[in-house]
A and B are shown apart, each in its own frame.
Chain A
Amino acid sequence: MNLTITKVSVPFAILMVVAAVTAAPVTAETLSYESAQSFLDLMTKSVKSASSKEVTVSEHSDEIGDFDPNNLESLLAFVKDHASRTKTTDNARIVDRKFQMVGDNLSLCLGAVFPEGTVADLTVCQDFQTNLLNRVIVKNSDGAVIGKYEIK
């Protein structure tokens, strides 16, 4: 084999980049379902006692699933169902989406990521002060928003 510097250096350079990319940490921290459970429990308690349960639906695709997007409890059930699916679906995971503003309300958000299916990405937020579920965003595998729901 006629070795040249080019034949050695270029593959080496590509290897370095691949190594750097794969060694770099994932941007969103993965959480266990168990550690997200207490987040969901608080939200459930708050939804049960919420005085106003009106959901503002900005986007909703029927392909997301069979639930009533205008009903807060139905929306919560959809969220909890998908959260629990991360336990049984390979490569599905719960991620930390951190503090976000939902309108004027500081909120803490988690997400769920699925490798397959209509729902590829789910973001769920709860009002930091009241624990009330206040935002759900659903995206498909192309990253397009196919469901967006807010509770004020």
Chain B
Amino acid sequence: MRFSFRKFSLCLFLVAFLSTAFLPAFAQDEERLDIQNALKIVEIMENTYEDVQDYSVITYKQERHGGELMAREKIFTKFRKPFSVYMKWVKDDPPEHKNPNLGQEMIFEKGWNNNKIYAHLGKRSYFPAWVTSASSWVIDYTALDPKGRVATMYQRHTIDEVPFGETIKRISKAVRAGIKYPEDNVYFTNLGYKEVFGEPSGCIEGHLPGGKREAYYDDRIMVCIGLRTNMPTQIKVRNDEGTVLENYRMDEITLNPGYDTEDFRPSNSEYNFQ
């Protein structure tokens, strides 16, 4: 075998050139969405939500606490403006998803029950049954401080951050801050079409400087908005390393079903507060 350094070098150059010249052209680039179009998405949600008086939704919730992604929770929620919430932890899809707080119910209404949460625990929780049972001797679950330790344990959001309106506000703040402060280099990727539990949705992902301003909730926030309802169908929050911190998926969104006061009272015969 004849060896020529010149030919060897030429061949190496050919390999390097072809690799760098062609690979980028075929790589899947992240398609960016003009931030003004991200604002249009926000405005569509805001305009739609203005005409919503009440709604129901099933939320599949997963959050990371202490470095661990917790078990998925499936929660049925009723909400009525200005601020009445009923939540029930309902049966998920066993055996993979057993809903750790199955059966738990809570009601919160601003101006009722001294602005305290009225709740009862479910059959299961993160603690053994005897602990949750004994805890009711010392904790009054019918008068929980919404921002207190019990109500916020293993929660990344307080009850007043949960409704669609508050979620839309957080997204709106981030987008508007990104426009106001171009030096923050906020950008959105155009993720396009996705079905979330069969709900046709359009998705974008915000890339934000998480700690820089209060307006930026975290580093990467994916939002999917339903084509049918113009409401969020998925929110996934990640840190700058790509680790999932929160993942909420919304199913069976019903806008303006027409709730009344009784839907937000423990005396409702369909609830299990007694």
Contact = CB atoms under 8 A, between A and B. Distances in A.
Interface on chain B toward A: helix, strand, loop, or mixed SS? Answer: mixed
Given A20-B22, A97-B192, A98-B193, A9 B11 contact: yes
Interface on chain A toward B: helix, strand, loop, or mixed SS? Answer: mixed
Interface in A94-152: 96-99, 101, 106, 108, 110, 126, 128-129, 131
Contacts of A21: 22, 26
Nearest to B192: A98
B34 to A, nearest CB: 8
Contacts of A98: 31, 190-193, 202
Contacts of A126: 227
Interface residues of A, number: 36
B19 A99 contact: no
A131 B198 CA distance: 16
Contact of B193 (A10, A20, A39): A39
B65 interface: no
Interface stretch (A22-30, A52-60, A66-74): A22-30
Interface in B171-203: 190-193, 195, 198-200, 202
B185 to A, nearest CB: 21
Nearest to B7: A6
B45 to A, nearest CB: 10
A14 B1 CA distance: 21
A5 B44 contact: no
Nearest to B31: A98
A77 interface: no
A74 to B, nearest CB: 23
A91 interface: no
Interface string A1-25: 0111110011011101100110011
Interface of B: 1-4, 7-8, 10-12, 14-15, 18-19, 22-23, 26-28, 31, 33, 37, 40-41, 44, 47-48, 190-193, 195, 198-200, 202, 204, 225, 227-228, 230
Given A3-B1, A31-B193, 4 more contacts: A25-B28, A26-B28, A96-B193, A99-B192
